[in-house]
Structure 1
Amino acid sequence: MSTSSSEEGSACYIYGSEHTKLPREDILERLVGRVDYVLLEGVSISGLWRLARKHPSIALSLVFLVAFLKFENLLARIKGLLHRLLRRGVKFVGDMEYVRDFFASRDPRISVETADASLEELVEARKELFVIMVIPAVVITVVLPYALYVMLCFLLYGFSLLLSYLGLVREPLMICELNMISVGLAGLALGFLTIVAARFFIRIVLELSSIRDRKLVDRVVELVRCGYRVLVVRGRKHVPYIREELRKRGVDCEVLNPG
C-alpha cells in the first residue's frame, strides 16, 4: 500500500544532485511521508571482467569507463573527509549513499532502490561507442608516451649537438641527462593530452547517460501508474532529459531544485 495515499501534491519529484556535494536535507525532509519510492543512480560494474573476456576488443574502453566512474566516487570520498573534519557528525561518502541512509533512518517504509543500467546493458545497447573509445585509449596509454619519449630524445640530442658545434656547450647532453629531460617533457605533454582525452570520454559518457535515463524513466512510469509517489535523485545534468521524457510519457515531475 502506498504510504502517501492521503497526501496532496505531485506523484513524481526530481532532485538534481551534485555528486561531490551534500544533498540539501531541508528538501529531503519535506518528502518524508510523501513518497513511497526513492530511485537513485549508480551503474553496476560487477560484470566488468566477464565483459572484458567476452569482448576483448573493447576491454581497455571498459576499464577506462570504470576508472572514470571510480574517480567520481573518489572525489566524493575526499569531500566526505572534509565534511568530517569541518562538520563533525556529518557522514558523507557520496550523494546517493547519503540519500539512501537519510530515508532509511527517517522512514523504513520508503523503498529506496537503484534504477540504473548495468555496464553489460550499456555495452549491449551501444557497443559502437566502446569501440570508438579503444583508439584514443590505446594511443594515450601506449603509443603516445613511447612516441613522445623517442621524439624528444632525438630533438634534445640534436639540439645539444648543435650547441656543442657552436661552442656554447663543451659536450652533448649525456644519456642520463637526456633521459631525465625527455621523461619530464613527455610527462607534461602526456598530461595535457590526457585532459583532452578525458573531455572526449566525458562526451561518450554523456551519450551513454541517455540509455541509463531511459531505464529510470521506465521504472518511474511503472510506479506512478501503480499509484505510488516517486522521488528521483539523479545528477543535475540528467534532470532536463528525464523530465522531458517523463512528460512525453504522461508523467509530470516537480523539480525540487531548479536552476
Structure 2
Amino acid sequence: MPDERLAGMRTADGVAATLEQLILDGVFHPGQLLPSERRLCDKLGVSRSSLREGLRALRSKGVIETRHGRGSSVAQLVPPRDDSPLMHLFKSQPRTLFDLLEVRALLEGESAFLAASRGTPADRVLITRRYQEMASYVAEAESIDVERLARLDHAFHLAICQASHNPVLVHTLQSLTDLLLSSVFASVKNLYHRAEPREMINRQHAKLHEAVVQGRPALAKRVALEHLNSIGERLREIEVETQRLERSAMRLEGWE
C-alpha cells in the first residue's frame, strides 16, 4: 500500500472511515461494544489521539455511542421497532404474509447467488455454523419451540445474506428483521407440525447450505427461490382448506 494512503488512514478522518467500513461490512454489529482503545490502536496502527478524534467524529454522526465507564459501542443504526401506522398495517393484514414471501424471494434469492459467488472461507464457516445450529435443534428437540426455530431459521438466511458482501443488501434485510421474522414464524407455526412440509423445509435448507458453501451460484439462487415459493404454495393451500372448513361449519351450524 502506498505510503500516502497509509498516512491518510492514520489520520482522525482515516480512522473514522475505517471504522465506518468495518461497521458497514458487519465486522462490528449494532449494539456491539468496540474493542478497547489500546486494542484498536494496535489493530489499526494509529495513535491514541487520532483514534479518539475519529471516535469523536463517529459519535457526532450518531454511528457510535459512548457511556462513561463502559466504552463505545455501535449505535442501533436501524430502530429496533417501527410502530408507525404503515408497519401496523403490514403486520395486521394476513395477505401481507404472501407479500413478505415475495420480498424474501427477491432479497434471499440474490443473496444466495452472491454468497455462493463471493463467499470467503470464513463466510462458509459461519453459514455452516448457523445451519448446524438450526439442524441440530430440529433433530434433538423433544418439542419444537416455534419462536426459537424461527430465529435459528432467520439467522441461517441472514448469514447467507452477509456472505453476499453487499452492505446495502444486508442492511435492507436487517431493517426488515421484525417483518421477516413474522413470516418465518408463520411458516414454522403453520407448516412444521405437518410431516410432508417439515421434510420439504429441512431438505431445502440442506440443499441451500450445500449449494452456497460449494460455490454454485445458479443452484443456490434456484434452491432459495424454490424454498420460498413452495412455502407460499403450502400456506395458500392451508388458507384455502381453512376457509372451506369454516364455510362447512357455518352451513352445519346455521345462523339461528
Q: How high is the TM-score relative to the length of structure 2?
A: 0.22
| CA radius of gyration, larger in | 1
**Bigger proportion of residues as strand:** 1
Q: How high is the TM-score relative to the length of structure 1?
A: 0.21
